[in-house]
Structures are given as C-alpha cells and as structure tokens.
C-alpha cells in the first residue's frame, strides 16, 4: 500500500513539474502582464483602466495585447475600445479599435473552462519603447447600441481588463 502511494505522489510531482516547465516556456518573453477587475462586471463608460509599464529596454521589439475576460452575460458580438499609450516624454498614441467577441453563430471566441472567457486581443506588434521611463497604457470601452449616439453607460459582462507585453525573440 505504501509503494502505491509513493508512485501516485511521484507521478503527481512529475506532472506538476512538467506543467510548471511548460507554462514557463510559454511566458519566457512576457515582460508585463497585469489585470484590473471591473466592479460587478459593469464597466462604466468613463472608467479608464490604467497600466503603468516601466521600460528600460529601448532596443527590443515587443507585441502588446489587450486582454479581456468576459462572462456569458456579455450581450454583443464585438467590442470597441479606445486604447492609448502615454510616453515618458509626453508623446501620446490613441487608437479606436474593434474586436470580434463572438463568431458568426454567436459563440464566444475567448478561451476558458468556466463561465469566464479570456480574449487575447492584438493591439500593437513589433514595437519598441524608444524612451526609458514610465509608459501608461489606458483602456476604455466605446460601446454603444445602434441609433444611440451617447453610448452605453455600463457595459455588462466584462470581468477583467488586462495588458500583456511580450518581447519578440
């Protein structure tokens, strides 16, 4: 009986080590990854989610992603975002972006094993941070219903908003 428990335990340890190594190899190039929770899964139109990124590497190329975790109460097939980068030297880039959240049959595109799905949305590719210092990435939703000029006050179904930056090899 003791030998069986030892084999079960050693199998579990090997599995845990393999999982650790496999997740580390996927994130070796991850230089920034942060999420902010949305209160009650209701993202207010005036709520600007801010991420501070301190860059000291002015040479490497990077990909920037906006990560959205939504639950199944999200009622749209797409998502409009206003995303900005504020540089240490006061230069700014602001983009209005549209992402698909569901396929043509209305099934959510995100990945997950529960009611919360994660969408990794490509924002900028092959970019450098040319100035050392603090960069601020800001994300705000810009959703509105058809024929509604004012936009939605609350966007329901958004659990978390995140930003990830991956260094390109």
> Does residue 123 sit within a domain?
yes
CATH number of the structural domain spanning residue 102: 2.60.120
CA dihedral 76, 77, 78, 79 (to 10 degrees): 30
Which residue, 89, 101, 88, 111, is CA-closest to 141? 101
Look up the domain containing 86 and give its range.
30-167
The H or E element spanning position 113 is: none
The tens digit of pLDDT for each residue in 47-76 reads 999 999 998 899 999 999 999 999 999 999
25 inside domain: no
- Is 56 among the domain residues? yes
Evaluate whether 127 touches 62 at the Cβ level (below 8 Å): yes
Q: Is residue 93 part of a domain?
A: yes
Q: What are the DSSP calls for 25-79, one per residue? A: HHSTTEEEEEEEEPGGGEEETT--EEEEEEE--SS--EEEEEEEEEETT---SEE
Tell whether 160 is covered by a domain.
yes
Cβ-contact 39, 159 below 8 angstroms: no
Unique residue bearing structure tokens 């999420």: 35
Q: How many domains in the chain?
A: 1
Q: What is the pTM of this model?
A: 0.81
Q: What is the pLDDT of residues 82-130, one digit of tens each?
A: 999 999 999 999 999 999 999 999 999 999 988 999 999 999 999 999 9
Residue 25 has pLDDT above 80, yes or no: no
Judge whether 24 lies within some domain: no
Is 72 within a domain? yes
Is 99 domain-assigned?
yes
């Amino acid at each position: 009986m003791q030998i069986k428990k030892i084999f079960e335990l050693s199998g579990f340890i090997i599995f845990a080590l393999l999982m650790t190594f496999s997740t580390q190899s996927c994130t070796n190039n991850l230089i920034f990854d942060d999420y902010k929770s949305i209160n009650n899964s209701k993202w207010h139109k005036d709520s600007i989610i801010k991420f501070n990124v301190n860059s000291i590497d002015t040479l490497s190329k990077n990909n920037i992603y906006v990560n959205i975790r939504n639950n199944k109460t999200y009622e749209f097939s797409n998502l409009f975002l206003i995303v900005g980068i504020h540089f240490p030297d006061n230069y700014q880039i602001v983009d209005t972006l549209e992402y698909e959240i569901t396929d043509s049959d209305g099934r959510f595109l995100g990945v997950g094993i529960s009611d919360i799905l994660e969408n990794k949305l490509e924002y900028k590719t092959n970019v450098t941070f040319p100035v050392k210092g603090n960069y601020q990435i800001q994300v705000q939703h810009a959703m509105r219903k058809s024929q509604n000029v004012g936009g939605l006050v609350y966007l329901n179904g958004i659990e978390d908003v995140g930003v990830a930056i991956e260094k390109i090899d």
